A and B are shown apart, each in its own frame.
Chain A
Amino acid sequence: MRWLSRFFEFVGKVGVFSLQVLVDSLRPPFEFTQLSRQLVEVGNRSLALVVVSGFALGAVMTLHTRSTLVTFGATAMIPAVQSVAFFVEIGPLVAGLLLAGRVGSGIGAVLANMRASEQIDAIESLSIDSFKFLVVPRVLACVIALPFLTLFMDFAGLLGGFLSEVLSSHIAPALYLNRAFDFLQWSNFIAPTLKTSVFGFIIGSISAYFGYTTDKGAQGVGEAATNSVVVSSLLIIVADVLLIKCIFFLFPDTAV
């Protein structure tokens, strides 16, 4: 039963930490300079990874889908399958998991290193609120950047799928785009993209929690990085299930 009490203790601490992020993000002074630095770190520096991954995933998915659909003579459905799959699920989830790996580990390791080398104490000693200065801008950057990164992943996936399909069937670009967006509704596009803000909040809060609260010195840096990736990836997948239920509730036509 000890592990259960430790689990609930952890959930409670993360809950309070996340609540503090929400409260502090609404309380002035606002750290715009730090936020813009973090947006560059989280957004710009993740862009190449997201676009290349999306492109490759799109190409591979089309190859697999084609080999199956060709059996049923339904290759005309490939663009629609590709776009719906990417905009509804693959883009948001994979972008979230990629960001958890690249940014989550970075946030955890950087903050843990700052704790171990007394940089966080130094910030406090300069009468600066270290939580607002270090944690809040990192979480907000994840919340803001992830929906945009998801869009890049979606369109890179479509491009990869399109090029793969052109090489196989020489389909015209206009026809591919028509078929790709024929089945797509706004609710397929907006709600799944916006749900990645929740993923961003999970990545930012969990990673910052592990980094900011560590007290294990240099050993804590590695642990914070690993725990950030593992826990935030797991929570993204769990949150995805719950958010899909919410989206089905709010937009019933997408569930059909």
Chain B
Amino acid sequence: MRETQSIAVEFKRVMKSFGAKRVLNDVSFHIEQGQALCILGRSGTGKSVTLKLIMALMRPDSGEVWVDADNVVGMGEQRLSLVRRKLGYLFQDAALFDSLTLYENLALPLSRLTKKPKDEIDDVVHRVLTDVGLGADGAKYPSALSGGMRKRAGLARALVLEPKILLADEPSSGLDRITAAEIDELLMRCKKERGTALIIVTHDVHGARRIADRVAVLDRGNLAAFGSVDEVSQSENDVARRLITE
């Protein structure tokens, strides 16, 4: 445990390899509570791995990953479970549970992790689904939803426990620009209304420019640039500059 309460997530000299391929090489950065960080980079540069390390779905080869006040590296499952309650995760393809309806997808974490009575769970699920524009679709199964609806449903599930930190893996990939902008709006509302820290992996530079307080550019496992949009667009690193300006 540490005292610096305003830091939401911090990487300290994190290394991660898969076989001979190093995907993160001595990466260090931090973001504060209420900030939005967009992680940009070419495919296969370790962006999604960064999110999985924060959620402790993977373990780094070395280095520290701090979430709020806890280093999640080497943490036991029981304590990890408590840390994960501070996090929400929107997966790239939403990862909704096929065998459950949309309502059940959202009610599952509420019934398991809170002591709310069923009436209250119904209210919370309905409110969150309405927030993402799916108030009338609770009885549908994920297979009956379009790509955009699935993304919004995934976001609703990630938000249902009101996390302090939201991780989003390519929230606008595969969506038209209007739907992508709607998703960005929802993310910005989270940040503004609840003070949620956002860490978003994206290829959508327009979206990143709208949302991000900080931008991190990963290139071949290294943190090529980190800073505000303006700082990164004037970076000496050619890849970082091109990614944010083109």
Contact = CB atoms under 8 A, between A and B. Distances in A.
Contacts of A122: 89, 91, 95-97, 157
Interface stretch (B64-72, B77-85, B127-135, B192-200): B77-85
A70 B108 CA distance: 63
B97 A118 contact: no
A113 B81 CA distance: 24
A121 B53 CA distance: 12
B95 A119 contact: yes
Interface string A188-205: 000000000000000000
A124 B113 contact: no
B55 interface: yes
Interface stretch (A1-9, A88-96, A126-134, A222-230): A126-134
* Most chain B C-beta atoms within 10 Å of own C-beta, residue among A113, A114, A119, A125: A125
A113 B99 CA distance: 12
A122 B157 CA distance: 10
Interface in A115-162: 117-119, 121-129
B93 interface: yes
Given A127-B84, A129-B77, A121 B109 contact: no
B73 to A, nearest CB: 16
B92 interface: yes
* Most chain B C-beta atoms within 10 Å of own C-beta, residue among A117, A122, A124: A122
Contact of A125 (B55, B98, B108): B55
Nearest to A41: B99
A123 B113 CA distance: 12
Contacts of B55: 121, 124-125
Interface size class of A (residues with CB under 8 A): 10 to 19
A126 B112 CA distance: 9
B216 interface: no
B119 to A, nearest CB: 19
Given A125-B84, A125-B87, A128-B109, A119 B97 contact: yes
Contacts of A114: 97-98
Given A119-B98, A121-B57, A126 B108 contact: yes
A129 B95 CA distance: 16
Interface size class of B (residues with CB under 8 A): 20 to 34
Interface string A150-182: 000000000000000000000000000000000
Interface in B86-138: 87-89, 91-93, 95-98, 108-109, 112-113
Contacts of A124: 55, 57, 84
Given A118-B91, A122-B89, A127 B57 contact: no
Interface in B157-183: 157, 161
Nearest to B57: A121
Nearest to B48: A118
A126 B161 CA distance: 9
B95 A117 contact: yes
B52 interface: yes
Contacts of A113: 98
A126 B95 contact: no
Nearest to A113: B98
B89 A127 contact: no
Contacts of A125: 55, 57, 84, 87-89
A10 B161 CA distance: 39
B143 to A, nearest CB: 12
Contacts of A129: 77, 81
B147 to A, nearest CB: 14
A126 B109 contact: yes
B98 A126 contact: no
Contact of A121 (B81, B91, B113): B91
8 closest A-B pairs (Cβ-Cβ)? A122-B95, A118-B95, A125-B89, A127-B81, A126-B109, A127-B84, A118-B91, A119-B95
30 contacts: A113-B98, A114-B97, A114-B98, A117-B95, A117-B98, A118-B91, A119-B96, A121-B52, A121-B55, A121-B57, A121-B89, A121-B91, A122-B89, A122-B91, A122-B95, A122-B157, A124-B55, A124-B84, A125-B55, A125-B57, A125-B84, A126-B109, A126-B112, A127-B82, A127-B84, A127-B85, A127-B109, A128-B109, A128-B113, A129-B77
Interface of B: 52, 55, 57, 77, 81-82, 84-85, 87-89, 91-93, 95-98, 108-109, 112-113, 157, 161
